[in-house]
Amino acid sequence: MNAAAIYAVEGILLVSITSDITDSDIIELQELLSNRIAKSETRGVVVDISALEIVDTFVGRVLAQLTAIARLLDAETYVVGMRPAVAMTLVELGMYLPDNHTALTLDHALEKMRSAGLISGISRRA
């Protein structure tokens, strides 16, 4: 699977999704990510969707599921990099992703996670 990659960054897991991701890739990602969260004992997951031009109800549902799975494994999920057109379309579809945290970019997400105490260690701001 090349369409998505999971990196360990600053004690959290960064999931980067590319634009050519397929449905089966996404389902595979769900499996892979659950294992990684459990193994790494991370408290935070960041899903970068800035490459996605389209997020339909299926992808939206998977994002919500990822969040729910991560939460059961004691990790909070941040979705970052959503494009304006995608945000407007999701709202039109009635998908507000209420359980996901959101942030503009990875940096913003890391900042938010630090202040929420999800990242251990010394905060950059302090």
Task: Provide the mask over 68-107, with x wherever binding to another protein is found by CB under 8 A and - wherever it is not.
Answer: -----------xx-xxxxxxxxxxxxxxxx----xxxx--
| Distance in angstroms (rounded) separating the CA atoms of residues 114 and 124 | 9
108 binds another protein (CB under 8 A): yes
Q: Would you say 40 or 102 has its CB closer to another protein?
A: 102
Smallest gap, in angstroms, from Cβ of residue 45 to another protein?
A: 15
47 binds another protein (CB under 8 A): no
Closest CA to 17 of 29, 31, 34, 32: 29
Q: Would you say 40 or 95 has its CB closer to another protein?
A: 95
The count of other CB atoms within 10 Å of the CB of residue 83 is 15
Binding site for another protein (CB under 8 A): 53-58, 60-61, 79-80, 82-97, 102-105, 108-109
